[in-house]
């Protein structure tokens, strides 16, 4: 069993870490490892989830039986900021008692002025705020490669002018290995006041025939120095949560358990000082 973290931060696992699994099987596998928090990914057809109350009730039952709390509902990359399906994702998140909805920025379009794209994203985010109680839930933009906002400084430029507490950033250091890399301390300085959650994974990025290839590996093997990253997060005063969103090997309960224990070991070592 994975022991609960003894710090203020809570560790969760995303259903994205078990691609292709049925949601019921994914939730049972996560719970079997002693994990009590989960991030649920909603795919390209959230309407069915919103309107099928029997499915939502069934999901609530499975969550309850397995002792799982939904920390967040994540929209897949097919539902970026501005997509008309996002209000339905928010409805799912509210029904499950999630603390946040995680969405990707839209893709950059080189035929549209950047200023206009940023403004359109801002308008879409503000519109989304009309669909939930800002005191109980947040919208988090994930910094990710191949999007309009791949880096911390771009997130600061795009989101700080909104000055909305319910709109923040999900920081994924492994994504920065592909695009948007800054030293962790500089990244956190840029994200001051915006950082709300951190995704956990590690990867090796290689270039072959002009194309970048990503391979997920264990937390101690890839390009992210997780001990250094956690030390920087501690220095910055970060008190948010962490979610494992990709595993370091073939998805299985054993791999979930191993990666969770590895993260807790690294966390303890980084914060013992």
What are 105-130's pLDDT values in tens digits? 999 999 999 999 999 999 999 999 99
Give the model's pLDDT for residue 117. 96
Q: Where are the beta strands (DSSP E) in 125-217?
A: 138-142, 167-171, 195-200, 202-208, 211-217
CA distance linking residue 14 with residue 16, whole number of Å = 5
Phi then psi dihedrals of residue 98, to 5 deg: -70, 150
Q: What is the pLDDT of residue 49?
A: 54
3-state secondary structure of 183: coil
Instruction: Grade residue 52 by pLDDT with cuts at 50, 70 and 90.
Output: low
Q: Is the pTM of this model over 0.95?
A: no
| 162-175 pLDDT per residue, tens | 999 999 999 999 99
Percentage of the chain lying above the pLDDT 90 cut: 78
Per cent of the chain over pLDDT 70 is 93
Q: Which residues pair with 198 in a beta bridge?
A: 171, 242
The number of beta carbons lying within 10 Å of the beta carbon of residue 128 is 20
Average pLDDT, the chain: 91
Domain ranges of the chain: 11-271
Q: How many residues does the chain have?
A: 273
Nearest 10 degrees: Cα torsion 28, 32, 39, 254 = -110
Q: Measured at the alpha carbon of residue 44, what is the angle toward residues 41 and 45, in degrees to the nearest 5? A: 100
Greater model confidence, 55 or 19: 19
Instruction: Spell out the residues 6+ positions from residue 68 whose beta carbon is closer than 8 angstroms to its own.
Output: 27, 30, 31, 35, 36, 37, 38, 62
pLDDT at 227 over 90: yes
pLDDT computed for residue 50 by the predictor: 53
Q: Would you identify the CATH topology of the domain 11-271? A: TIM Barrel (3.20.20)
């Amino acid at each position: 069993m994975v022991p609960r973290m003894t710090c203020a931060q809570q560790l969760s696992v995303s259903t994205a870490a078990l691609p292709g699994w049925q949601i019921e099987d994914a939730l049972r596998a996560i719970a079997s490892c002693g994990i009590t928090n989960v991030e649920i990914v909603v795919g390209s057809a959230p309407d069915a989830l919103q309107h099928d109350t029997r499915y939502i009730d069934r999901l609530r039952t499975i969550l309850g039986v397995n002792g799982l709390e939904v920390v967040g509902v994540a929209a897949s990359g097919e539902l970026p900021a501005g997509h008309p399906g996002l209000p339905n994702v928010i409805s799912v998140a509210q029904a499950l008692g999630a603390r946040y909805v995680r969405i990707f920025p839209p893709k950059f379009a080189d035929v549209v002025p950047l200023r206009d794209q940023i403004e359109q994203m801002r308008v879409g985010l503000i519109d989304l705020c009309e669909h939930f109680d800002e005191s109980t839930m947040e919208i988090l933009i994930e910094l990710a490669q191949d999007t309009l906002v791949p880096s911390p400084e771009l997130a600061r430029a795009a989101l700080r002018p909104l000055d909305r507490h319910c709109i923040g950033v999900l920081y994924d250091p492994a994504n920065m290995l592909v695009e948007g890399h800054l030293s962790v301390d500089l990244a956190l300085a840029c994200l001051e006041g915006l950082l709300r959650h951190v995704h956990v994974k590690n990867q090796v990025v290689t270039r072959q025939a002009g194309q970048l290839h990503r391979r997920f590996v264990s937390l101690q093997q890839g390009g992210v120095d997780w001990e250094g990253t956690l030390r920087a997060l501690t220095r910055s005063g970060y008190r948010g949560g962490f979610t494992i969103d990709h595993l370091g090997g073939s998805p299985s309960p054993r791999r979930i358990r191993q990666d969770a224990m590895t993260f807790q070991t690294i966390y303890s070592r980084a914060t013992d000082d």
